[in-house]
Amino acid sequence: MMLGRGIALVALLLVLLPAAWPGGARAQDGAAEPLAAVRQLVATGQIDAAQSQLRQLLLESTEDVVRQEAMTLLADLLWQQQLPEQALAYARRLPPAALSPDLWQALVAEQISLGQLDAAQQLLDRRPVPTNAASAPERLRLQLRLAQARGQQLQALMLYSQLLQQPAPADEELWHELETLVRQLPAAERAEAEFMFAGTGLEPLLQLPDLREQVRQARQLAADAPERRTLTHQLSQLLAAATAPALRQQLVTLLGQLNGTPWQRRAIGVLLPLTGRYAPFGQMVRQGMELAAAQAGADAAELLFRDSAADPARAVDELRQLVEQERVLAVLGPLSSEAAQACAPLADQLQVPLLSLSHWPDLPAQGAYVFRHSLTSRQQVETLLDYSFGRLGLTRYAILQPDNSSGERFARLFAEAVRRRGGQVHSWQRYAEQATDFRPQLLALRDLPAGLDAGSLAVADREQHNRRQQGLPTLGFEALFLPDYAEQIALLAPQLVYYGIEGVQLLGIHGWRSEQLQQQAGPYVADALFCDGFCADGARPAAQRFVRDYQARYGEPPTLLEAQGYDCARLLLQLVRQCEAPTPALLREELLRPDPLRYQEMVSGLSGFAADGEAQVQLCLLRFGNRGIEPLPPAGVPLP
């Protein structure tokens, strides 16, 4: 952790250095050398030594400009090292314009907390108004805190109204502060504020006190009373327009109180591409989900399917409607990467669990309510290396990847995982995405020059043959990772043997699962290993029952997509049934709670979710064997 923080600190300071000393032009000639020395210390991560030289420069230099620049950098260093007291001690001696944004904000906040409101106002006034959008919200927040400290409630509301118009959403803590402010407003000032902020994001917040009283009175009326229906409609409209999670929760609570039942519906939304070029894949997932719903029974929660058309904007609109109008407890999908990336932040903002099937990298990092069950690059790499290290004892590897984003991601993860296990990556080569001739890369894997003539290659081949006859290593690696798809591997595999790359373990990815690959390149991929997320002919009884039931219903065997859809729907339907009064927040907690029994009947290897929302999956390890594609037991399971 400390190493990571140190690297981040160095990176930040390398950005700050040119700002503090633009090429050293502002410093006098006598100080240029010490400043350059400090730059070098920071660049090499010697932060303590850099601080020592800066302090010495402050003592010895008589140039005000140099002293200010040194003090500015020293304050930033201390702040980034999480030494706020020392950092602020220097910051107080600097003009506001010289401070970094973090230090300036901390200094203003300090003055406000100490009750030195005029001093805080002076700091705000003496700092230029930011021109970049990223800095504007922070200045508004400081102005808001100052207005609240002065008791200027209407001014505080005005500033918050401006904050609502910023790209970054308002945080929950700030929203609760303003809710407290509204509760404390005298009736006359609240009426004035409602008039001032009609039609803005503040209007629902200002109406909450009156709405609570109206709900209390309406509960005395008959369930079908016109006043009660009107109030339900009003609250529903406000809920549809609200974006702040805290406000949404307040409105949901009022709707529940008004109607006498929890406002959330016993339903799960599903976002899939049911039209457009990805429709066949969306339909495959849907069929798996519908099988799970049929098996769950008539009293199970309802699945509400919506078409994303693999369009990010449409997916976002459908997600909002599912949550705000249909009041679903959770959402399954989207499937396409772009739609999932667009929906994830909104789901987190709306605080509804989103269980996506997209393989988009780091998707669960978008928020606490974002989950993902998909066959990822990392899962495949870890499964392959668990087996090749643990079962086969291989420690020396080579990588031959296509020069595209998928190949780069697989190769990077593979290299990191090999080194983390104490292994070695002997060679790492790339080829053009549509290449048909791999000679330069294959020669490089043998540590031979790409321009080697035929005669020299023949000599190298004879030397390799002699070493093999003597039982000596012929290559610098024991296994070769090829993260490409079956069509390309069918061209590549025969060339491996032609150029003398034999006797090594081939490792592939899920894209190798193709009977055509074995037909076209059978001898060249014999015993090659790769992963997939679902084995229709595997040993899991639950998977065998799923295959039987799916074929009986649809007349064809299922694939990974149907299996993942089945498991995701089955899991959420089960959680809704088990929760006496399910809510989105409760479902999120249940998804994160370890429970091995819950996942015993899963067919796609799903065994739970990590704290970051990523699915924990036991993949199928497969091999090209004598009888075709054969499943293998995991690294920790004895061979049959």
Give the CATH number for residue 552. 3.40.50.2300
Mean pLDDT of 127-138: 63
Instruction: Sort 54 into a burial class: Cβ within 10 Å, 0-12 / 13-18 / 19+.
Output: buried
* Percent residues over pLDDT 70 in the chain: 88
pLDDT at 17: 46
Q: Are residues 364 and 427 in the same domain?
A: no
The one-letter code for the residue type at 454 is: A
User: In terms of pLDDT, which residue wins out, 131 or 499?
Assistant: 499
Q: Are residues 496 and 416 in the same domain?
A: yes
Q: Which of 101, 120, 97 is nearest to 109 (CA)?
A: 120
Q: Are residues 478 and 566 in the same domain?
A: no
- Domain membership flag for residue 444: yes
Per-residue confidence at 35, pLDDT binned at 50, 70, 90?
low
pLDDT at 300: 92
DSSP labels, 3-56: HHHHHHHHHHHHHHHHHHSSTTTTS-HHHHHHHHHHHHHHHTT-HHHHHHHHHH
Which of 93, 112, 128 is a domain's end point? Answer: 128
Q: Are residues 353 and 435 in the same domain?
A: no
Separation in Å, CA 341 to CA 2, 202, 528: 31, 29, 34
Per-residue confidence at 634, pLDDT binned at 50, 70, 90?
low
User: In terms of pLDDT, which residue wins out, 454 or 312?
Assistant: 312
pLDDT digits (tens, 9 = 90+) for 318-333: 999 998 888 899 999 9
- Domain membership flag for residue 136: no
- Domain membership flag for residue 457: yes
C-alpha 566/C-alpha 560 separation (Å) is 10
Q: Are residues 444 and 454 in the same domain?
A: yes
pTM score, two decimals?
0.61
Q: Give the chain's count of helices (H) and strands (E).
A: 26, 14
Mean pLDDT of 531-554: 88
pLDDT at 612: 95
Q: Which of 39-53, 322-336, 565-579, 587-601 bottoms out in mean pLDDT, i.e. has the lowest?
A: 39-53
Which of 259, 291, 309 is a domain's end point? Answer: 259
pLDDT value at 19 more than 70: no
Which of 212, 234, 259 is a domain's end point? Answer: 259
- Domain membership flag for residue 275: yes
Of these ranges, 171-185, 260-274, 558-572, the one predicted with the greatest mean pLDDT is 558-572
Task: Output the average pLDDT for the chain.
Answer: 84
Per-residue confidence at 129, pLDDT binned at 50, 70, 90?
low
Mean pLDDT of 601-620: 94
Per-residue confidence at 15, pLDDT binned at 50, 70, 90?
very low
Mean pLDDT of 595-605: 91
pLDDT value at 34 more than 70: no
Domain total of the chain: 4
Mean pLDDT of 391-415: 96
Per-residue confidence at 1, pLDDT binned at 50, 70, 90?
very low
pLDDT at 30: 47
Q: Are residues 549 and 505 in the same domain?
A: no
pLDDT digits (tens, 9 = 90+) for 441-497: 999 999 888 778 777 777 777 777 777 777 777 799 999 999 999 999 999 999 999
pLDDT value at 629 more than 80: yes
pLDDT value at 195 more than 60: yes
3-state SS, 543-577, equals: HHHHHHHHHHHHCCCCCHHHHHHHHHHHHHHHHHH
- Domain membership flag for residue 158: no
Q: Are residues 185 and 301 in the same domain?
A: no
pLDDT at 33: 62
**DSSP character at residue 450:** T
User: In terms of pLDDT, which residue wins out, 455 or 614?
Assistant: 614
Q: Are residues 427 and 495 in the same domain?
A: yes
Q: Are residues 386 and 527 in the same domain?
A: yes
pLDDT at 540: 76
Peptide bond before residue 273 is cis, with ω within 30 degrees of 0: no
Q: Are residues 95 and 229 in the same domain?
A: no
pLDDT at 392: 95
pLDDT at 309: 94
Per-residue confidence at 262, pLDDT binned at 50, 70, 90?
low
C-alpha 438/C-alpha 434 separation (Å) is 11
- Domain membership flag for residue 618: no
Beta-bridge mates of residue 622: 530, 631
- Domain membership flag for residue 156: no
- The whole domain housing 247 covers 174-259
Structure token digits, residue 285 = 């997932």
Q: Are residues 419 and 477 in the same domain?
A: yes
Where do the H-state alpha helices sit in 362-452?
377-390, 405-420, 439-445
pLDDT digits (tens, 9 = 90+) for 359-392: 888 899 999 999 999 999 999 999 999 999 999 9
pLDDT at 240: 65
Q: Are residues 363 and 483 in the same domain?
A: no
- Domain membership flag for residue 165: no
